[in-house]
Structure 1
Amino acid sequence: MTDTTTLRTATSDDIDAIDTLIQRSYMTLLKDDYPPSVLVTAVPVMAHAEPELVEAGRFFLAESDGRITTAGGWSEEPPGGMAAVPHVAHVRHIATDPAMVHLGGGRAVMTRLMEEARAAGMLQLQGLAAQSAVGFYEKFGFSPEAETLVELAGGIRFPAVLMGADL
């Protein structure tokens, strides 16, 4: 991270800015691995911060010069309404501003959410990674567990890779 980068817990006042960041990030950074038809249908549906995660203090932001550069959080509940498994947490919405990739914001946010999940008694962390993000997850000790199709509202299916790591 740069000298002017800070890490903080998101608040409800940040939700609109987080949504904008996630949408811009996904539309730009996923374009090499997904056809435009998938991006234009899936990103608007999935690129939203979940207010309950923000309100629970489980969503974190990296900022540089007062601008949000990276966002991400974790939950005990898996995405998509699946049943929770004791001591297994889930990465939610890691996104970095395309102009700020490889500057440490993603590393800072992922490290923080892993520390917070571990401190809350979680033993494992899973994430549904976009194909473009598999390498990023692997840097934190995650391994691919399965390729999957994430079922989104409106019958939209988004190809992803289920990643897992021990905490």
Structure 2
Amino acid sequence: MTDHPTIRATTGADAAAIDALLAVSYPRLLAGDYSADQLARALPLMTRAKPELLASGTYFLIEGADGQAIAAGGWSLAAPGTGETETGLAHVRHVACHPDHLRCGHARRILDNIIRTSRDAWVTDLDCLSTLTAVPFYAAQGFAVIARVDVPIGGRVPFPSVQMRRAI
């Protein structure tokens, strides 16, 4: 791996790499905050890349020198689940970091890229539906808790989450 792995916008061709990253990241990192039953119901729906995000130009991937997906995440103007939009507001989407690469600054680089590129698109605020596990990470990046919510994963599996927001 290089000292400073590359970051780039994804394409549809990255689906398998993102699926693999989500499949290794979410089960390991979320296990301390969710029950086995909650994860068994939600993970099959959460660990699949979203084709519309991959092709959006606003979803990013950090790769090591060996091509392994290390971290990913992005943003959209449309709210996850509803597709609703609000002037000046964007939504952080599907952020993940490989468990073997935690605390190396990769998720922070992804979030910095999300902030920079969304600001360039005239976004003034970022909304995030954080897992319980990621709340401290987002709080350290300036996000404030708005409310605890149950996010309907796949439109049907309630998943305890925290809505957070920050001005950019």
Normalised to the residue count of structure 1, the TM-score between the two structures is 0.95
Aligned residues of 1:146 and 1:163 also touching (Cα < 8 A): yes
- Gaps of at least 5 residues in structure 1 are none
Q: Which amino acid aligns with 1:156?
A: V
Give a deviation string over 1:8-65, Cα, whole Å, max 9, x none: 1112111111012112111000000000111111011122222122212111011122
Counterpart for residue 56 of structure 2: 56
Of the structure 1 ranges 33-42 and 74-83, higher mean CA displacement relative to structure 2 is found in 74-83
* Alignment map for 1:57-136 (pairs within 5 Å): 57-65=57-65, 66-136=67-137
Normalised to the residue count of structure 2, the TM-score between the two structures is 0.94
d(CA) in 1 for partners of 2:104 and 2:36?
27
Superposed CA RMSD in Å reads 1.5
Q: Which amino acid aligns with 1:33?
A: D
Identity of aligned residues (%): 38
Shift of 1:4: 4.5
Q: Which amino acid aligns with 2:34?
A: Y
Aligned residues of 2:12 and 2:51 also touching (Cα < 8 A): yes
The aligned length equals 167
d(CA) in 2 for partners of 1:82 and 1:149?
17
Shift of 1:82: 4.9
Aligned residues of 1:2 and 1:103 also touching (Cα < 8 A): no
- Gaps of at least 5 residues in structure 2 are none
Q: Which amino acid aligns with 2:58?
A: R
Of the structure 1 ranges 50-59 and 88-97, higher mean CA displacement relative to structure 2 is found in 50-59
Give a deviation string over 1:100-127, Cα, whole Å, max 9, x none: 1111110111100111011001010001
d(CA) in 2 for partners of 1:141 and 1:23?
28
Structure richer in helix, relative to its length: 1
Aligned residues of 1:130 and 1:161 also touching (Cα < 8 A): yes
Aligned residues of 2:17 and 2:68 also touching (Cα < 8 A): no
2:37 is paired with a residue of what secondary structure?
helix
Shift of 1:68: 0.9
Of the structure 1 ranges 8-17 and 123-132, higher mean CA displacement relative to structure 2 is found in 8-17
Aligned residues of 2:81 and 2:155 also touching (Cα < 8 A): no
Of the structure 1 ranges 149-158 and 91-100, higher mean CA displacement relative to structure 2 is found in 149-158
Identify if the C-alpha distance between structure 1 residues 2 and 165 changes in structure 2 by more than 3 Å, giving closer, same or farther: farther
d(CA) in 1 for partners of 2:167 and 2:109?
18
Shift of 1:146: 0.3
